[in-house]
Chain A
């Protein structure tokens, strides 16, 4: 199927930016109008993303909805965008989480709503741009530009240590992207282009003429940028700060989408471009990923602050994703992509829930709560469902990805799979323990007695999220089939020349490919 209309992806990418521009023209004190405009544009973007989802042809390999416009003639940089299954899912995720974040901020952002929603919309444009760029330069541009709105969101509307967190966030990311820029420029030097597809087709033939270590260094230059973004152990220290200090909407987007840019980059660039180096480093990276899983889980367990707990759980969950990617087999990579989406939804939902609790009590300390199940039962139910989805209960979304990843990891090395499975158990421990302390037992703190249960707006947000969680858990097929060709291509690139790499029979969840 062709694209629904001309310049489809351009419209999708820049629609949120148009929203930001429209907001710029509204009076700063017309808060409600600003919110509605932001919501309208983000919902429109969601509709377009869904349109992309339904008109996406999952049987076709390569990029769809492509569009190429020459932009700068020297060096040749083009505005080149397109989508494959991986970008499709992540764009959909970004477009899905943004309106929810706007709804979640509806009543909690009182100061300077104009700038807040303006930055949020600009951020959405940047995120979509990152996922659809097919030109290395364009990718880098979106990747960098997107930092600015996030920086302001954390720094202006965050909590007590917001400035520290915002600056740490931006500096960490920039160290990585500085090295990536060197890599991009070096690739340009040897291939003469920034066009990803041309580089992909020419690079394998060029390796013999380059110094032997070139691939290793290039891989590291790109990988470090992505590893910081994911963040992988030991580059994760910016994450708890940024997550905890950010306003709810910021945390949702940060955990939901921004972290995925790291793993997206690995799948889009590191593996296909530098397969040999990727294979060489796979053991080290897998071990680091497993350390991340276990370490994240153990640290999460002892957090007194709910938001920090969720933040560390992200380190663990993203460790799964990296482990899956570097398993280099269908199960591992499909699981990783699926886990990227489901982590976006579950963790996004967790942050929203913690944010709702914070709106009511202005604290996130676990010890402040207890027995909430009796005072706000509806909220507690939703919280339970989301918690279960995050710890990977079957029938909910988290299970599918983690299961596939563990199967994939087992094919590489049984120990990887076993240790990752320990991570799943630990996730159950820290999440359920947190749930127990916050929601069960007697109401010990009198402040928790008369809390209002969720209102219509919050109910709407949560119902939507729970429906998606259920859908992704019960019927993952539509999503998985759309990433089949992408996964196959990545594996084919990585295993070029080494037949045994493709090993492992795919576990098909939800029936055969259509």
Chain B
């Protein structure tokens, strides 16, 4: 046991910066008049930028910190930057939104930073208790964020539902950790792996531990059958929060899934493989089929995000496939990482755009509110159309390569049946993504959606996400190299 080393602090520098700014925003809150709370939003954004910048120091001294509880490696760095990007976009999409809807409070910005901090720890920790702490920090922050429209019943419902079911799920996760400790006498994932490789007994206990942890994580990534909460929460929460929720905690939970299943439980991969395989199949099919019937934009995007979780699970199944070579496993892992980045670009972008277009109080979130919108506000409509096409996986956009890499990995792991189902699913998804395009461009009428010009902050966020979408869609090579680097960090 060592006490804190200077290097330890550098290795969690981004998290420290985030915590610092989160506290700073809260402390400064009383000194900022209520009409100018947006300043704190910009301050939070500076915090995100500073945290991103601080990763350049962290990357100079990679390694584990705090007695091997946290690892600053390419994998955690990849996720840290991803979360910071998501947080940055969310903040850009929030500032104007909160002002418009009269809920511009400092706590919001602080909570976004805290949630991001928790997610960073989830991805960086190599020890289950730390992962749990990260999970709790991010969960509790997002429970509050989901209910941030205090006067709105739907938002309250979202918060309560998310909170109750979420606590239940984290309890499962914790229970799983207890089993792991019982089996191996340690909560460290590497120790667990070593122990499982050495001992032959305890097989049923291991399975129970694995199942319990999967329940907890499955809830966070909204994998079927733990997805029930998703549509209600995504629809009820303020749209920028949904943007954050639909990507951040999900990606963090996927990072944990990768670490737990590929590192901790590497020895028992056939059980985890089938678990993920079935879950992938159900998640994408149910998500897509349910999305077909939705008439509310936020709700169908919620189901679409369930479906996307299914595609990511296909990638994870490819990584866990029995008999997969190391190189195939790394390829599959990197495809998952790439997918999450592409998904972040599309989903955050589309939700903060919807937040703006839905108008004050988010009154207009029905698909039919966009009738004829295409030619009324060509710029905003074109953005929305690009998001839809990218989510549908049309080439030249990020969503296509994301799917392409995942399916390639799945084929390499001989999951041909699952790939065919996934591809047919993505054809089904084309139908409902295009419905919004149909409504915007091909129906005559006057739209209800907001005709107010995009605020500059949202414009920047749109430009960033569209640039990202086309960059990953046309020249994905260099970014995939990054994902490969990160993936190779997982043994």
Contact = CB atoms under 8 A, between A and B. Distances in A.
Interface of A: 71-75, 112, 140-141, 144-145, 147-148, 151-152, 155-156, 162-163, 166-167, 170-171, 174-175, 178-179, 181-182, 185-186, 188-189
Nearest to B419: A182
A73 B480 CA distance: 10
Interface string B297-321: 0000000000000000000000000
B375 A182 contact: no
A179 B443 CA distance: 31
B423 A182 contact: yes
Contacts, number: 77
A224 B394 CA distance: 20
Contacts of A140: 395
Contacts of B426: 178
B477 A167 contact: no
B57 interface: no
A167 B430 CA distance: 9
28 contacts: A72-B480, A73-B477, A73-B481, A144-B395, A144-B400, A145-B396, A151-B434, A155-B438, A156-B441, A162-B442, A163-B442, A167-B431, A167-B434, A170-B434, A174-B427, A174-B430, A175-B424, A175-B427, A178-B427, A181-B407, A181-B423, A182-B416, A182-B419, A182-B420, A182-B423, A185-B408, A185-B411, A186-B411
B412 interface: yes
B430 A75 contact: no
A129 to B, nearest CB: 11
Interface of B: 375, 389, 394-396, 400, 404, 407-408, 411-412, 416, 419-420, 423-424, 426-427, 430-431, 434, 438, 441-443, 475-477, 480-481, 484
Contacts of A178: 420, 423-424, 426-427
A141 B430 contact: no
Chain B binding surface, main DSSP class: helix
Nearest to A77: B477
A166 B477 CA distance: 33
A152 B441 contact: yes
Given A155-B438, A167-B431, A178-B424, 20 more contacts: A71-B477, A74-B480, A145-B394, A145-B395, A152-B441, A155-B441, A155-B442, A162-B442, A163-B442, A166-B438, A167-B434, A171-B431, A174-B430, A175-B424, A178-B427, A179-B420, A181-B404, A182-B411, A182-B416, A182-B420
Given A145-B396, A178-B423, A178-B427, A167 B484 contact: no
B431 A74 contact: no
B442 A179 contact: no
Contact of B411 (A162, A175, A189): A189
Contacts of A144: 394-395, 400
Contacts of B419: 182, 185
B476, B477, B481 — most chain A CB neighbours (10 Å): B477
Contacts of B427: 171, 174-175, 178
Contacts of A112: 375
Interface centre among B375, B420, B430, B484 (most CB of A within 10 A): B430
Nearest to A138: B395
B411 A141 contact: no
Q: Which of B389, B442, B476 lies at the interface centre, i.e. has the most chain A CB atoms within 10 A of its CB?
A: B442
A178 B395 CA distance: 12
Contacts of A148: 389, 394
Contacts of A152: 441
Contacts of A189: 408, 411-412
Given A178-B423, A178-B426, A185 B407 contact: yes
Nearest to B429: A174
Given A167-B431, A171-B427, A186 B396 contact: no
B438 A163 contact: yes
A188 B404 CA distance: 12
A74 B481 contact: yes
A170 B443 contact: no
B407 A156 contact: no
Given A74-B477, A144-B394, A186 B416 contact: yes
Consensus secondary structure, chain A interface: helix
B395 A141 contact: yes
B438 A167 contact: yes
Contact of A72 (B420, B424, B475): B475
Contacts of B423: 178-179, 181-182
Contacts of B400: 144
7 interchain residue pairs of minimum CB distance: A178-B423, A155-B442, A185-B411, A141-B395, A72-B477, A174-B427, A144-B395
Contacts of B477: 71-74
A217 to B, nearest CB: 9
A174 B424 CA distance: 9
Most interface-central of B389, B395, B404, B419 (chain A CB within 10 A): B395
A152 B411 CA distance: 33
A96 B411 CA distance: 40
Contacts of B420: 178-179, 182
Nearest to A158: B442
A186 B443 CA distance: 40
A179 B400 CA distance: 15
Contacts of A71: 477
Contacts of B408: 75, 185, 188-189
Q: Considering residues B394, B416, B476, B484, which has the most beta carbons from chain A within 10 angstroms of its beta carbon?
A: B394
Nearest to B428: A171
Nearest to B412: A189
Given A145-B394, A188-B408, A156 B430 contact: no
A307 B419 CA distance: 39
B171 to A, nearest CB: 40
Contacts of B404: 181
Contacts of B484: 74
Given A145-B394, A182-B419, A189-B411, A166 B442 contact: yes
Nearest to B396: A145
A140 B477 CA distance: 18
Contacts of A166: 438, 442
Contacts of B424: 175, 178
A363 to B, nearest CB: 21
Contacts of A175: 424, 427
B430 A72 contact: no
Nearest to B401: A72
Contact of B430 (A73, A163, A171, A179): A171
A182 B412 CA distance: 11
A485 to B, nearest CB: 31
B342 to A, nearest CB: 15
Contacts of A179: 420, 423
Most chain A beta-carbon neighbours within 10 Å: one of B375, B389, B411: B411
Nearest to B442: A155
B332 to A, nearest CB: 13
Nearest to B409: A185
B400 to A, nearest CB: 8
Nearest to B480: A74
Contacts of B443: 163
B396 A156 contact: no
B9 to A, nearest CB: 36
A315 B304 CA distance: 36
A112 B389 CA distance: 22
A114 B168 CA distance: 55
A210 to B, nearest CB: 12
B227 to A, nearest CB: 24
A153 to B, nearest CB: 11
Nearest to B410: A185
Contacts of A186: 411, 416
A212 to B, nearest CB: 15
Contacts of B438: 155, 163, 166-167
A156 B442 contact: yes
